[in-house]
């Protein structure tokens, strides 16, 4: 019986000398390739890195106490003493923006991770088990996803009260259905792979298959999801603080800085509005750029884009 040659070209085969192991690229090489192929994503990552450094070293970089008032320097213009001016209570805006980065990152990262992990577990079990479990869980997710993220976060924040843990919970709940949908779509494809079928044939338990063989292969979409949702979480936190449902005084928050100054002092002291708004825009812009670049890099369907 005639046989047809296998269509494999020499370029598709990597020749390795006997006894030599394949060298995987190091972290520096991976970062360099990412910066070269995705310069906008690298710029977004640099912005986020600067915000993280500013938040970590806010106590060192700040020039004044962020909550200390000074009646003799209210509404001061930017100067050598107050780099970004002061607010209506004489508090240094530069120092408050630095410490406000801590609040925004803690709430943004906390709510994103909490919502993504809970939604990922729901999506993993829903996609792998299927049947009634999938049907019921997805209908519940449809109910939550039917409400806009900000509206649902407003309802939860009003019910729980203004505090850092409550704001994290309020913002994480709208993220759960989005994470569940993303992970479920990946699981539906992965569960049909041959190695999953082989694991079932060997008698491996469903729980071990789901968390040992399927879950690690969803890390790419999970990382992209977390990066994309971080900007939305920071923006929602600022909106909640602007409406008085976020972090309470005297803790500095970018959204609360806008709520205090936007209506009453916007024309008299525009620096009260410009600098906190610019900080929010940079954080959201940087996270969105980084998220888009990671999506294009980690998604096999978009790697050539």
- Burial label for 155, CB within 10 Å (0-12, 13-18, 19+), is middle
- Report pLDDT for 249: 75
Does some domain include residue 162? yes
Residues 6 or more apart whose CB falls under 8 angstroms from that of 185 comprise 123, 127
Using the Cα atoms of residue 39, residue 43, residue 48 and residue 54 in order, give the sign of their dihedral. positive
Gap between the Cα atoms of 147 and 139, Å rounded: 13
Q: State the residue range of the domain holding 56.
A: 39-69+78-302
Does some domain include residue 131? yes
Does some domain include residue 10? no
Does some domain include residue 89? yes
Which tokens in the block code for residue 246?
């976020």
Residue ranges in the chain assigned as alpha helix (H): 27-37, 39-56, 58-61, 93-129, 131-145, 149-160, 164-190, 194-201, 206-208, 219-242, 254-261, 271-298
pLDDT of 134 over the 60 cut:
yes
pTM score of the predicted model: 0.81
Question: In whole angstroms, how far apart are CA 24 and each of 14, 31, 32, 107, 282?
Answer: 13, 13, 14, 36, 34
- Report pLDDT for 51: 92
Using the Cα atoms of residue 261, residue 244, residue 115 and residue 165 in order, give the sign of their dihedral. positive
Does some domain include residue 6? no
pLDDT of 16 over the 50 cut:
no
Does some domain include residue 1? no
Per-residue pLDDT tens over the stretch 226-279: 888 888 899 888 888 888 888 877 778 888 888 766 667 777 888 888 899 899
Does some domain include residue 290? yes
Does some domain include residue 148? yes
Per-residue pLDDT tens over the stretch 289-300: 988 888 777 765
CATH code for the domain in which residue 91 is found: 1.10.3720.10
Domain count, the chain: 1
Per-residue pLDDT tens over the stretch 141-162: 888 888 777 788 888 888 887 7
């Amino acid at each position: 019986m005639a046989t047809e040659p296998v269509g494999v070209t020499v370029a598709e085969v990597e020749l390795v000398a006997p006894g030599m192991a394949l060298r995987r690229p190091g972290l520096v090489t991976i970062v360099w390739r990412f910066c070269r192929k995705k310069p906008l994503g690298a710029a977004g990552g640099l912005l986020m890195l600067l915000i993280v450094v500013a938040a970590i070293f806010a106590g060192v970089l700040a020039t004044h106490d962020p909550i200390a008032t000074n009646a003799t320097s209210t509404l001061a213009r930017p100067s050598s003493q107050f780099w970004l001016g002061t607010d209506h209570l004489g508090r240094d805006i530069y120092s408050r923006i630095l410490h406000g980065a801590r609040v925004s990152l803690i709430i943004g990262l906390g709510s994103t991770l909490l919502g993504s992990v809970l939604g990922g577990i729901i999506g993993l079990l829903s996609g792998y088990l299927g049947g009634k479990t999938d049907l019921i869980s997805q209908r519940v997710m449809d109910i939550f996803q039917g409400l806009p993220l900000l509206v649902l976060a407003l309802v939860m924040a009003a019910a729980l009260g203004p505090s850092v843990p409550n704001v994290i919970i309020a913002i994480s709940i709208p993220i759960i259905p989005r994470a569940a949908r993303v992970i479920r779509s990946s699981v539906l494809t992965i569960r049909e792979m041959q190695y999953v079928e082989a694991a079932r044939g060997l008698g491996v338990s469903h729980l071990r298959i789901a968390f040992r063989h399927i879950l690690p292969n969803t890390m790419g979409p999970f990382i992209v999801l977390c990066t994309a949702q971080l900007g939305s979480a920071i923006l929602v936190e600022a909106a909640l603080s602007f409406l008085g449902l976020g972090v309470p005084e005297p803790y500095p928050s970018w959204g609360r800085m806008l709520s205090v100054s936007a209506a009453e002092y916007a024309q008299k002291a525009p620096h009260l509005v410009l600098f906190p708004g610019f900080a929010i825009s940079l954080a959201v812009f940087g996270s969105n750029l980084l998220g888009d670049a990671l999506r294009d890099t980690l998604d096999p369907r978009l790697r050539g884009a």
